[in-house]
A and B are shown apart, each in its own frame.
Chain A
Amino acid sequence: MRELALRYTAQRVDRQLESYMQSHGIDGPWPTGEKILVCISASPFSTQLIRIAKRMAERVHGEWFAVHVETLHRFPISEAEKDSMVKNFRLAEELGAEIIGLTGNNVVEEILELARKRNVSQIIIGKPEQTRFWEIIHGSIVDKVIRHSQGISIHVIPGCQQKAEFSHHNTVSESREIDRKTKLRTLSLVFPYIASSLMVISMTLGITLISTFLGPVNISLLYLLPVLLSAARWGTSPAIFTAVMGMLTFDLFFLSPIFSITVADLRYFISFAIFILVGLITGTLSFRLKKQVTYSRQRENNISALYALSRDIAAVDNLDAVLECIVSNVSDTLDGQVMVLIPNEKAHLVLRKESGRNNFYHDNELVVATWVYEIGQKAGKGTKTFSAAAALYLPLSTEQGTHGVLGICFNETVAQFDAERIRLLEAFTKLAAMAINRVKLADQARESLAMVESERLRTALFNSLSHDLRTPLSSIIGAVTGLLEDKNVVYSPDVQNELLQTILQGAERMNRFVSNLLDMARLESGMLKLNKEWCDLQDIIGVSINRLGVSLNRRPIDIDIQDELPLVQADGILIEQVFINLLDNAIKYSEKGSRISVSIKQQVERLEIVVANRGQSIPETDLSKVFDKFYRLNSPLQVSGTGLGLAICKGLIEAHGGDIWADNNKLGGVTITFTLPLTDQFIGKVPAMHEGE
Chain B
Amino acid sequence: MEIKGTKILIVDDETQIRRFLRVALTSHGYVVKEAKTGNEGLDAAAMFNPDLVILDLGLPDIDGLEVVRHLREWSKVPIIILSVKEQEDDKITALDNGANDYVTKPFAMGELLARIRAAMRHTVGVEEQPILKFDDLTLDLVHRRISRDNCEIKLTLTEYEIVKYLAINAGKVITHKALLHIVWGPAYEKEVQYLRVYISQIRRKLELDPSRPRHIITEPGVGYRLL
Q: Identify the A interface with B (CB < 8 A).
A: 507, 511, 515, 518, 531, 533-536, 538-543, 545-546, 559, 561, 567, 571-573, 576, 682, 686-690, 693
Q: Which residues of A contact B200 (CB under 8 A)?
A: 536, 538-539
B158 CB to nearest chain A CB (Å): 4
Is B220 interfacial (CB 8 A cutoff)? yes
A518 to B220, CA, bound (A): 19
CA distance A287 to B197 in the complex (A): 96
Q: How far is the CB of B42 from chain A (nearest CB, A)?
A: 31
B186 and chain A: residue at smallest CB distance: A690
| B50 is an interface residue with CB less than 8 A from chain A | no
B184 with A542: CB separation less than 8 A: no
B211 to A689, Cβ gap below 8 A? Answer: no
> In the complex where A511-B106, A573-B220, A693-B157 touch, is A534 in contact with B193 (Cβ < 8 A)?
yes
Q: What are 23 A-B pairs with beta-carbon distances under 8 A?
A: A531-B88, A531-B221, A533-B192, A536-B196, A538-B211, A540-B218, A540-B220, A542-B212, A542-B218, A559-B211, A559-B212, A561-B211, A567-B197, A572-B220, A572-B221, A573-B220, A573-B221, A682-B193, A686-B194, A686-B197, A689-B157, A689-B183, A690-B185
Pair B86/A542 contact, Cβ less than 8 Å:
no
Assess whether B59 is interfacial by the CB under 8 Å rule: no
Check A689 against B184 for contact (C-beta < 8 Å).
yes
State in angstroms the CA–CA spacing of A344 and B213 once bound together.
62
B15 CB to nearest chain A CB (Å): 18
Minimum CB–CB distance from B102 to chain A (whole Å) comes to 14
On B, residues with C-beta under 8 Å from A are: 85-86, 88-89, 106, 156-158, 161, 183-185, 188, 192-194, 196-200, 210-213, 217-218, 220-221
Question: How many A-B residue contacts, CB cutoff 8 Å?
Answer: 75
Is the Cβ of A539 less than 8 Å from the Cβ of B156?
no
CB distance from A136 to the nearest CB of B (A): 100
**In the assembly, what is the distance between CA of A643 and CA of B89, in Å?**
29
Q: How far is the CA of A539 from the CA of B212 in the complex (A)?
A: 8
Point out the residue from B88, B157, B193, B213 that lies within 8 Å of A542, measured CB to CB. Answer: B213
- Tell which of A518, A539, A541, A542 touches B196, judged by Cβ atoms closer than 8 Å: A539
Would you call B198 and A534 a contact (CB within 8 A)?
no
Shortest beta-carbon distance, B198 to chain A, in Å?
7
Residue of A nearest to B161 (CB): A689
Nearest 3 Cβ contacts at the A-B interface: A534-B193, A690-B185, A689-B158
Within the assembled complex, what's the spacing in Å between the Cα atoms of A534 and B193? 5
B157 contacts A688, C-beta separation under 8 Å? yes
For B106, B184, B194, B220, which residue has the most chain A Cβ atoms within 10 angstroms?
Answer: B220
- Nearest residue in B to A527 (C-beta to C-beta)? B86
With beta carbons under 8 angstroms apart, the residue of A518, A535, A573, A690 that contacts B88 is A573
Known: A538-B210, A576-B220. A515 touches B157 (CB 8 A): no
Give the CA-CA distance A399 to B123 in the complex, in Å.
84
Closest CB in chain B relative to A670 CB, distance in Å: 22
Chain B residues lying within 8 Å of A689, measured Cβ to Cβ, are 157-158, 161, 183-184
Contact assessment for A693 and B88 in the assembled complex, using a CB-CB cutoff below 8 Å: no
> Are A535 and B196 in contact, with the CB atoms below 8 A?
yes
A567 x B220 contact (CB < 8 A): no
Q: Which residues on the A side are within 8 Å of B220 (C-beta)?
A: 540, 543, 572-573, 576
Q: How far is the CA of A542 from the CA of B207 in the complex (A)?
A: 12
Residues of A within 8 Å of B196, CB to CB, are 534-536, 539, 567
Distance in angstroms between the alpha carbons of A687 and B198 in the assembled complex? 10
Is B183 a contact partner of A690 (Cβ separation < 8 A)? yes
**What residues of A have a CB within 8 angstroms of the CB of B199 in the complex?**
536, 539
Select B85's contact among A515, A545, A546, beta carbons within 8 Å. Answer: A515
A688 is contacted by which of B86, B156, B192, B193 (Cβ under 8 Å)?
A: B156
A688 touches B158 (CB 8 A): yes
The CA of A527 and the CA of B198, in the complex, are separated in Å by: 33
Instruction: Please name all residues of chain B whose beta carbon is closer than 8 Å to the beta carbon of A534 when the two chains form the complex.
Output: 192-193, 196
Cα–Cα, bound, A686→B221 (Å): 20
Please, how many angstroms separate the alpha-carbon atoms of A682 and B156 in the complex? 22
A687 touches B184 (CB 8 A): yes
A507-B106, A535-B196, A567-B193 given; name 7 further pairs at CB < 8 Å.
Answer: A518-B85, A533-B192, A561-B211, A572-B220, A687-B194, A690-B185, A690-B188
Q: How distant is A681 from chain B, measured CB to nearest CB, in Å?
A: 10
